Amino acid sequence: MEQPFYWIFILALPVACVAWTITKEEIFREAHEFCVDKSKACKHILQRKFFYVLTCEYCFSHYLTIILLFITNYTLLYSGWRGYIIAGFSIVWIANVYMSIYNLIRIDLKRGKIIANKEEEEVKNKIIH
């Protein structure tokens, strides 16, 4: 069954959202710190790599995409295993573009907030003096 091309853009959204949230957001900070420590301290390389995957949004997005493809049976260009491989890497790439854009927006918003706070302090200092 041929799937619409535009679905890769839709399917990349939950991959990006979950990958970013688990690897970057404050709500998972303790788990993230635990995994970072384990990714450096475990004796076996497979254990270190397992924990590292949980700290890297790019790496984690691959595994989320595999789960998503399993759930949705989405293929791209070809049916069967070739379509899954093409769809998988396409979804990962688009999800990471989404996360990069989101990161740029967050940086810009933080910069704007810092500038606004600095200007507010300058105005307060002028009023006081």
pLDDT tens digits along 50-72: 889 888 889 999 999 999 999 99
Evaluate if pTM is beyond 0.85: no
**pLDDT of res. 78:** 84
Q: Which residues does the chain have with pLDDT short of 50?
A: none
Instruction: Dig out the tokens for 53 from the structure.
Output: 């995957």
Residue that has been written with the tokens 């970013």 in this structure: 20
**pLDDT of res. 2:** 61
**pLDDT of res. 115:** 83
Instruction: Dig out the tokens for 8 from the structure.
Output: 């890769």
**pLDDT of res. 15:** 96
Instruction: Dig out the tokens for 114 from the structure.
Output: 């810092």
To the nearest 10 degrees (0 to 180), the angle between helices 29-41 and 45-53 is 160
**Is 55 in contact with 25 (CB distance < 8 Å)?**
no
List all residues 6 or more positions away from 59 whose beta carbon is below 8 Å from its beta carbon: 52, 53
CA 14/CA 71 separation, integer angstroms: 13
List all residues 6 or more positions away from 65 whose beta carbon is below 8 Å from its beta carbon: 15, 88, 91, 92, 95
Residue type for 71, please? I
Q: Using alpha carbons, select from 72, 77, 86, 97 the residue that is nearest to residue 11.
A: 72
